[in-house]
Every structure is written in C-alpha cells, then in structure tokens.
Amino acid sequence: MEQKTTSVWKSSLMSGVYLGIALILVSVVFYVTGNTFAKPAQWVGYAVMVAGIVLAQIGYKKVLGGTMTYGQALGVGVITMLFASIISSIYTYLLFEVIDPSLQEQMRLFTEEQIIKQGNVPEEQMEVAVNMAAKFQTPIMMLVMGIFGGTFIGLIISLITSIFTKKNPTEDVVE
C-alpha cells in the first residue's frame, strides 16, 4: 500500500483552528457563569485538548491512507496544539486586556486566596509571593506563556495519544 504524503502543517492548521475555537467556547462558558478560575474549567479544557489532538491525529492518519508512524502522530498533535494555543492565547489576551480588565485584579485575589489556603507561606513572604505571581499574570505574559505552555501541554498529551493513534505501515514480504 502506497503511503500518501500531505503537509502536516496544513492538516494541523485546520485542526488547530477548530481546537482553538473549542477552547475559547469552554472559556466563554466558564466566564459567563462566573467560574473563570474554577478547577473544573481547567479539567474541561484539558479534556477538550486531548479530544482535539486525538481527532487531529486520526484525521491525519486518514489523509495518509490509514497508516501513520509515531513521529507523524506526535508532530501533528504538537503542531495542532501550537495553532490552538495561538488562537486561544489571543482570546485570553483580549479578555484580560479589552473585554474585562477587572479580571486581572480578580486573578490576583484568587491567587492570594490559593496561597493562603496552602498555608505553607509565612505572612511576611505572602506579599512577595503575590507580587511575583502578579508579574506573570499580565495579559501580555499570559499571551506568551499561553502559547509556549499550551504547546508544551500538547507535546505531553501527544506523547501519550500517539501510542494509541499510530498505525505503522506494514511491509509486504514476498518470499
């Protein structure tokens, strides 16, 4: 069986756009319900990422004619998540900078609450910890970290899902 060749970038772009839109929709739902920083929002986001990467890998395998190596599956998963991260990070930037700038203060308060709940930070270091976290919670930093962090998470997810979505081409042995 001859293996078809197609651009992994082209295939991943469309999958990444769909995944990015899905991640934005999840974020909008949690924002509208007032649960922007809730743990379930993170878990639902991770589930959507896993599903999006698996669907991208399966779709690329179909384009290749039903076979795909582990490396190809890994590549399509990471590149898909790169495009999805770019799209969802731009949305996050717009949300925190344009749509609702008060979210920055809400995030700072949420971070402070989480540090207090942990209870392992002395009172005198509390302000330092909150200020340090605030430096990384600016919209531009969230944009940059969202792209790199999302791509890294895509790598981790793809390392695992590629095991299950790959199908190595078989060599026809003629004796």
Q: Alpha-carbon dihedral of residues 72, 63, 54, 161, nearest 10 degrees?
A: -30
CA-to-CA distance for 82 and 13, rounded, in angstroms?
9
Q: Alpha-carbon dihedral of residues 46, 79, 93, 118, nearest 10 degrees?
A: 40
List, as one string, the DSSP characters of 53-69. HHHHHHHHHHHTTS-B-
pLDDT per residue rounded down to tens, the chain (175 residues): 444 557 889 999 999 999 999 999 999 999 999 888 888 999 999 999 999 999 999 999 999 989 999 999 999 999 999 999 999 999 999 999 999 999 888 888 888 888 778 777 777 777 787 778 778 888 899 999 999 999 999 999 999 999 999 988 775 445 4
Domain spans in the chain, listed from the N-terminal domain onward:
8-99+142-165
